[in-house]
């Protein structure tokens, strides 16, 4: 197991020679489930110090200790893209958060719209999904999941310079024109509506924003989770870190 | 309920005045769950005759009858794009099929690779998922889900003129160059590998094909289901029916 196949997020500083304590639940996973013993190697990241190879220095049922060896990846902060979405059914909401972390969103903002069923979210559970997705996808950054915010309140304090990409079946803008290269490097947000879409009032409000960009995602109606991945793909390809 | 909110796939010809029998399970859904009665309207499609508005003419617990009124959409056949993928865990395989139908794949091909765990699939269950996704997304076409085929057997009979888009972290081709406009209208397939990716041998085999196009989907490792949606988004935008 010198290959370090385990990749773990820890809420602890990382650096050469830095000892990292292992809490009970992670000890269960590392030493129980994965059966790592002293001398085994793992990869650690904390969202700030990049990725580090670390060695197990103490393995116990209720805890243990790791020691950082060397940095295997620098911190790679994704482009300044927020994914703003209306929570849907539990499994699909989890999916959207997972996908947003994989696709490289810098921040994930659950939003309550007129047609949103959910009036609350479990922010801690969604944040844990984002961590797990980062562990899985090899990212060194974990997007922050915000608390649920109402559409009107979100737009009332919307930063003027943050561009909005929003998908509307009714009005079709060319992706190439809307995501033109001179908008690279600016702050952006992708808005994904709930099942049933945004209300007419919300749609008008979004379109009135000076930095709103409307595109189409084809002739079929995409589910919210599909639309989130599709819109982020086009954005990452045009303006993000895919090229 | 004159609004026809129910949209149903039926395996029956559709046309003006055409009666359509309702089988037992659909009768349960239409007349039990959705509580439709005689005179209520539904939308029907069969993958061949477009979408039709139909009226309930007989509603019973064990069956019933519909009658087609008028066509509400012509048949919209998606571009000639296959999604070829290696089945993964059950829920994510279901997801890939659902997403492929939503995103407008013409055919869905489950493929067994060296690193594929699944040695069998339930073709009928996956086909039902494709039907359900088509009902949901407003499509009038249902992609056929093939039986599981081995990688080597698939490539042995691969049609020479069918282009292959395949995503590889190791070698990066520009999306814009690989999906250039002169390749629009050609037959295509997107290949998505299993968790752990294609083997070196498989990767070399794919790259050796005259019509293989290799692109990158960014610096993070995407799960197979995310990669499928991401690759289809870029393809549909560059060469498909999204523009």
Measured distance CA(A141)–CA(A169) in Å, rounded: 33
Per-residue pLDDT of B150-187, as tens digits, reads 999 999 999 989 999 998 766 666 788 889 999 999 99
pTM (2 d.p.):
0.92
- Identify the pLDDT of residue A1: 38
Q: Which residues of chain A neighbour B221 with C-beta distances below 8 Å?
A: 136-138
- Identify the pLDDT of residue A193: 92
Measured distance CA(B56)–CA(B40) in Å, rounded: 5
Q: Where are the alpha helices (DSSP H) in B81-139?
A: 90-103, 123-137
Contact (Cβ atoms closer than 8 angstroms) between residue B209 and residue B158: yes
- 8 Å CB contact of B230 and A233: yes
- Average confidence (pLDDT) over A37-57: 96
Per-residue pLDDT of A175-223, as tens digits, reads 888 899 999 999 999 999 988 889 999 999 998 898 999 998 988 989 9
Tokens representing B114 are 């060296």
Give yes or no for B219 touching A (CB within 8 A): yes
Task: Give, in order, the Cα–Cα distances in Å from B110 to each of B44, B48, B133.
Answer: 28, 23, 17
Per-residue pLDDT of A82-125, as tens digits, reads 999 999 888 889 999 999 999 999 999 999 999 987 778 999 99
- Average confidence (pLDDT) over B113-118: 85
- Average confidence (pLDDT) over B221-239: 94
Tokens representing A131 are 């961590």
Q: At residue B4, does pLDDT exceed 90?
A: no
- Identify the pLDDT of residue B171: 64
Poorest-confidence range of A32-46, A49-63, A142-156, A172-186?
A: A172-186
Q: SS3 of B32, please?
A: helix
Nearest CA in chain B to A225: B99
Give yes or no for A72 touching B (CB within 8 A): no
Question: Which helix or strand (DSSP H or E) is residue B213 part of?
Answer: strand B212-215
Q: At residue A54, does pLDDT exceed 70?
A: yes
Residue B237, φ and ψ in degrees, nearest 5: -70, -45
- Identify the pLDDT of residue A172: 64
Tokens representing A107 are 């921040």
Mutate to test the interface with A, among B220, B232, B237 (most CBs of A within 10 A): B220
Give start-end residues of each CATH 3.40.1280.10 domain in chain B. Answer: 81-239
Q: At residue B136, does pLDDT exceed 70?
A: yes
Q: At residue B27, does pLDDT exceed 50?
A: yes
Neighbours of B154 (CB within 10 A): 17
- 8 Å CB contact of A174 and B233: no
Contact (Cβ atoms closer than 8 angstroms) between residue A193 and residue A86: yes
Q: At residue B149, does pLDDT exceed 80?
A: yes
Residue A194's nearest CA partner among A89, A123, A103, A98 is A89
Task: Give, in order, the Cα–Cα distances in Å from A112 to each of A93, B94, B233.
Answer: 13, 28, 27
Average pLDDT value for chain B: 92
- 8 Å CB contact of B229 and A234: no
Per-residue pLDDT of B51-107, as tens digits, reads 999 999 999 989 999 999 999 999 999 999 999 999 988 888 999 999 999 999 999
Q: How many angstroms separate the CA of residue A112 from the nearest CA in chain B?
A: 23
May I ask the CATH class of domain A7-73?
Answer: mainly beta
Q: Name the band, by pLDDT with cuts 50, 70 and 90, for residue B243.
A: confident
Q: Which residues of chain A neighbour B243 with C-beta distances below 8 Å?
A: 174-175
Which sign does the torsion angle of CA B168, B170, B171, B172 carry?
positive
Task: Tell me the DSSP string of A58-120.
Answer: EE-SS-EEEEEEEEEE---PPPSEEEEE---SHHHHHHHHHHHHHHT-SEEEEEE-TT---S-
Measured distance CA(A2)–CA(A229) in Å, rounded: 35
Residue A113's nearest CA partner among A151, A148, A82 is A151
Tell me which residue has tokens 């059950």: B90
∠ Cα B17 B23 B28 (to 5°): 115
Give yes or no for B93 touching A (CB within 8 A): no
Neighbours of B184 (CB within 10 A): 13
Task: Give, in order, the Cα–Cα distances in Å from A175 to each of A179, B4, B130, B200.
Answer: 6, 32, 27, 36
Tokens representing B236 are 């549909």
Integer Rg of chain B from CA: 20
With a pLDDT cut of 70, the percent of chain A lying above it is 96
Q: Name the band, by pLDDT with cuts 50, 70 and 90, for residue B109.
A: very high
Per-residue pLDDT of A124-139, as tens digits, reads 999 999 999 999 999 9
- Average confidence (pLDDT) over B116-142: 92
Residue B44's nearest CA partner among B77, B68, B26, B27 is B68
- Average confidence (pLDDT) over A63-69: 96
Measured distance CA(A24)–CA(A31) in Å, rounded: 10
- 8 Å CB contact of B219 and A241: yes
Give yes or no for B135 touching A (CB within 8 A): no
- Average confidence (pLDDT) over A148-170: 91
Q: Name the band, by pLDDT with cuts 50, 70 and 90, for residue A3.
A: low
Q: At residue B215, does pLDDT exceed 70?
A: yes
Give start-end residues of each CATH 2.40.240.20 domain in chain B. Answer: 7-73
**Across the strands, what pairs with B167?**
B215
Taking each helix axis as running N to C, give the angle between helix B224-239 and helix B90-103, from 0 to 180 degrees, rounded to the nearest 10. 10
Measured distance CA(A67)–CA(A170) in Å, rounded: 56
Neighbours of A137 (CB within 10 A): 20
Measured distance CA(A227)–CA(A221) in Å, rounded: 9
May I ask the CATH class of domain A81-239?
Answer: alpha beta
- Identify the pLDDT of residue B35: 93
Q: At residue B31, does pLDDT exceed 50?
A: yes
Q: Which residues of chain B neighbour A233 with C-beta distances below 8 Å?
A: 217, 229-230, 233-234
- Identify the pLDDT of residue B132: 95
Give yes or no for A142 touching B (CB within 8 A): no
């Amino acid at each position: 197991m010198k290959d370090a196949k385990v990749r773990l997020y820890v809420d602890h500083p990382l650096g050469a020679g830095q000892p990292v304590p292992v809490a009970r639940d992670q000890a269960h996973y590392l030493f129980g489930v994965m059966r790592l013993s002293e001398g085994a190697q793992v990869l650690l990241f904390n969202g700030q110090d990049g990725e580090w190879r670390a060695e197990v220095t103490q393995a116990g049922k209720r805890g243990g200790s790791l020691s950082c060896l060397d940095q295997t990846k620098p911190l790679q902060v994704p482009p300044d893209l927020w994914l703003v979405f209306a929570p849907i059914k539990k499994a699909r909401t989890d999916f959207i958060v997972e996908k947003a972390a994989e696709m490289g969103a810098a921040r994930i903002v659950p939003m309550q719209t007129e047609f949103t069923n959910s009036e609350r979210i479990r922010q801690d559970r969604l944040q844990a999904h984002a961590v797990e997705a980062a562990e899985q996808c090899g990212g060194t950054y974990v997007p922050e999941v915000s608390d649920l915010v109402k559409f009107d309140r979100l737009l009332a304090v919307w930063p003027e310079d943050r561009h909005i990409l929003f998908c509307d079946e009714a009005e079709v803008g060319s992706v190439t024109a809307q995501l033109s290269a001179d908008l690279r490097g600016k702050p952006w947000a992708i808005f994904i509506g709930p099942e049933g879409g945004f209300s007419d009032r919300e749609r008008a409000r979004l379109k009135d924003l000076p930095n709103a960009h409307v595109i189409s995602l084809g002739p079929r109606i995409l589910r919210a989770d599909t639309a989130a991945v599709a819109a982020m793909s086009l954005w990452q390809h045009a303006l993000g870190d895919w090229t």
